[in-house]
Structure 1
């Protein structure tokens, strides 16, 4: 083989090796961005999706004619708040959510373990407010029915685990699976002690539908731009695009020292 041919093959191998190394480095950077940026970007993504939903969503259905029955333990103005955590916790996280909202699921996935840790430790309490803007935007009643079922779970003292199960099993936004009571009751079996005749009747009768409608009306009048809306001690954490679960935890810990 001539020196020229050998040199040509060596150059080709070197180019191929360089290209493979380049591709490997690019893939490594891409994975790092996905893993490292997911939590930081989830708030911005949630805000964008939530704004779109809020701008086009309208009150779904009319339950105003039915009596407003608040779930057990509800607090706040018109008993529209579902509280989680110790009442005297030094920090308060206020969360407006819609069980059909993909951005809400993204927030819950990223922050759930941190929220549980902070509420369990007594450093923070959470005030949940339920909205139904996706029903108005996409059509259907899944947001309302899921919120009613969550309120029924609150009656049974099982709001937090059922709330988490709903988000862990959230269907695609265009799939109104939560409109089916059978789906909501099936998911209740994932929560120990929740699947009872009382709970099933509460879900099937839509016991808290009017309460859910009133909660959604409160959201529409609030001036908030979308779901999830998350406030820590009254300040919207979406204003900080660098917010992460670790940063939220540090803020809560710092507030407890004051």
Structure 2
């Protein structure tokens, strides 16, 4: 074997080893999400995308749902963002989340009161984007159906309240309880004025299913590290281990005064 061939093979092995180490390091970074005290996210998006692709086609009900029907008041590119808070707020928190995701619940539990306080004060606008990552990772359809139900709640101005109820009652990650439309409708009873014939029909018909699929595709196209992914004024603070509700509040208040 010529010296040139040996050098070529050695360089190829070295590049492969370096690439493997790069992927291992990226995976370690993806596996840790610290929220407040400490919330661990065990979902690496790169691994999950492969599972999503492998499972595509197993549940085509969303594909048969018809045209994309965005929920009332949805904003942003392709109307994929559900806004909460004052339109003119100087700060925007963009949250990509999955109602079956335990780390998303951890984020909501730690930050909910602070986010509500800042939004109610007109200092912060929150844009929620819904993903179905756990459906692809664990199987099932609870992420999609819960997202559809949340979009149905948005149609009547009840998204924020129903959003919180879904996290407060989140089933275990391995239990696809949100695949049951009756359970989603039952939880709507915890939000004043939400459990109506129109809401029930929207949930059962999967009115926004195709919109949810489109939202999830945008999430995957964004190459984010997992759920939740949180952007503050466009900056990804998802892996900022020093981030706390108090620090977020300070950032918002400084922007509001600037």
- Counterparts of 2:45 and 2:203, CA distance in 1: 29
1:154 aligns with 2:148: no
Contact 2:35 2:244 in 1 (8 A): no
**Partner of 1:238: helix, strand, or coil?**
coil
Larger radius of gyration: 1
Partner of 2:4: none
Contact 1:50 1:103 in 2 (8 A): no
Q: 1:79 to 1:147 in 2, by over 3 A?
A: same
Q: 1:52 to 1:218 in 2, by over 3 A?
A: closer
CA shift for structure 1 position 51? 4.3
Q: 1:251 to 1:143 in 2, by over 3 A?
A: same
CA shift for structure 1 position 124? 0.5
Superposition map of 1:117-128 within 5 A: 117-128=117-128
**Partner of 2:207: helix, strand, or coil?**
coil
1:41 aligns with 2:38: yes
**Of residues 51, 58, 69 in structure 1, which corresponds to 2:52?**
58
Alpha-carbon displacement from aligned partner over 1:178-202 (angstroms, at most 9, x marks no partner): 0000100000000000000000000
Contact 1:40 1:241 in 2 (8 A): no
Number of aligned residue pairs? 219
Contact 1:54 1:225 in 2 (8 A): no
**Partner of 1:128: helix, strand, or coil?**
strand
Contact 1:165 1:190 in 2 (8 A): yes
TM-score w.r.t. the length of structure 2 is 0.81
| Unmatched tracts of structure 1, length 5 or more | 1-36
Alpha-carbon displacement from aligned partner over 1:69-112 (angstroms, at most 9, x marks no partner): 00000011111110101111000000000000000000000000
Partner of 1:133: 133
Partner of 2:6: none
Q: Which sits farther off after the overlay, 197-206 or 62-71? A: 62-71
Q: 1:53 to 1:135 in 2, by over 3 A?
A: farther
TM-score w.r.t. the length of structure 1 is 0.81
